[in-house]
Structure 1
Amino acid sequence: MWCDNCLLLLPLRGGAIAWGVVMFLYSLAGGIFLLIRGQYLFFVFPEWQIYGGIGIAVGVAAALSILALSNRSYIWIRVCKFVWPFVIVIAAVRAIIMIVELQRGKDKIQWECDNGGQLWSASAAAGYGTSSETFPSGFCAAGFSSLNVAFIVGLLVDLVFQMYMFFMVWRFQKRLEHYSGMKGPFYGGKY
């Protein structure tokens, strides 16, 4: 027998909506952070914009799932079930590339921290940031190894959250199909 909602205490639909809200909020926050401050961590021009855009796309997929679950729409649940595998694969590729690029740019990030949060000189010369912006001091205080571990753990947790959201969307679609095929009250009228 399948577990409807193994990790949450709420019923399948309510739990999936709550899970989607959490995913929407952290994906949107991460995407916006990368779009605004990503040039301090990634040093090839469109790189941080692509990563931020993918983060926002994950948030949009979560919002679409929330709307489909709250409307109990079979068509939109099928759309979400179709979209999530693509989002998961793209996010997994993004996670791998982000980890590699963070490792590649660790000396530049350390230089930015050692120079008062200024943008890497080659990036500043290319016009990526403004002269008034500085790298957030909290990242420098934590050190690169802590920043790197936080990014790796965050990206892996994000992938697990996405896979679980896909599972809940799939399970809700199966439940809708199951209910539409049932005839008459079974087990005392309780489904």
Structure 2
Amino acid sequence: MWCDNCLLVLPLRGGAMAWAIIIAIYSIAGGVFLLIRGQYLFFSADEWYVYGGVGIAVAFISVIGLFAFSNRSYIWTRVCKFVWPFVIVLSAVRAILMAVELNRGKDKIVWECQNGGQLWSANATTISTTADTSSSFPAGFCAVGFSSIYTAFIVCLLADLVFQIYMYFMTWRYQKRLEHYQSMKGPFAGGYYNA
């Protein structure tokens, strides 16, 4: 027997729309943070732009899914169902790389905190200056310590993956529901009464 509402914590259409909004909001916030302040946490070849770009891409797919659910669009729901697995794999790779690079840059982050939040430089004796001299490492990160930052990043990245997997599941269920309703002809022309 097929379960029509398997594992759905939220109502299918409305819940998927709310879930897409939540994913879009935190992905945009995280992506913008990484694009603006990522150089204080990651130190190899502008990698923070890639990490922030993946966050913005997740938000973009969530917004497309939101519009697909709100318009009951079968085509855009299929597009989202096709794209979500690739985005989930990309996000998982990003999560692994971010965890490894954060751990690798632990000493540099500690150096930044000990030197007034200035950007770490290659020789670690001179303070790097950027085009925006008023920017510095957020003081809140230095106050909580590296281990708390590292734990928070790991937990947030794992929660992000769980949210995305659940969004893929709701997209898949919604597409199946649209296919089911498209095959029904209604009460006219013997649709329900065909034998």
RMSD between aligned residues: 1.9
Aligned twin of 2:177: 175
Unaligned runs of 5+ in 2: none
What is the CA-CA distance between 1:180 and the residue it aligns to?
Answer: 1.1
Distance in 1 (CA, whole Å) between partners of 2:54 and 2:111 is 28
1:133-183 alpha-carbon deviations (Å, 9 max, x no partner): 110000000100000000000000000000000000000000000111124
What is the CA-CA distance between 1:2 and the residue it aligns to?
Answer: 3.8
Asked if structure 2 preserves the Cα contact closer than 8 Å seen for 1:4 and 1:12, the reply is no
Amino acid at match of 2:156: G
1:94-139 alpha-carbon deviations (Å, 9 max, x no partner): 0000000000000000000111101102298776663321100000
Distance in 1 (CA, whole Å) between partners of 2:76 and 2:40 is 38
Aligned twin of 2:99: 99
Distance in 1 (CA, whole Å) between partners of 2:8 and 2:84 is 19
Aligned twin of 1:158: 160
Alignment CA distance shift 1:149-1:37 (3 Å)? same
1:30-87 alpha-carbon deviations (Å, 9 max, x no partner): 0000000000000013200000000000000000000111110101111110110110
Aligned twin of 1:23: 23
- Which structure 1 residue ranges, 4+ long, deviate > 4 Å from structure 2? 123-129
Three-state SS of the structure 2 residue aligned to 1:120 is: coil
Give the TM-score of the pair, scaled to structure 2.
Answer: 0.89
Distance in 2 (CA, whole Å) between partners of 1:2 and 1:163 is 18
User: Is 1:7–2:9 an aligned residue pair?
Assistant: yes
Aligned twin of 1:72: 72
Three-state SS of the structure 1 residue aligned to 2:61 is: helix
Asked if structure 2 preserves the Cα contact closer than 8 Å seen for 1:117 and 1:136, the reply is yes
Asked if structure 1 preserves the Cα contact closer than 8 Å seen for 2:8 and 2:170, the reply is no
Choose which of 134, 138, 141 in structure 2 pairs with 1:139: 141
Give the TM-score of the pair, scaled to structure 1.
Answer: 0.90
Structure index of larger Rg: 2
Three-state SS of the structure 1 residue aligned to 2:37 is: helix
Distance in 2 (CA, whole Å) between partners of 1:125 and 1:111 is 10
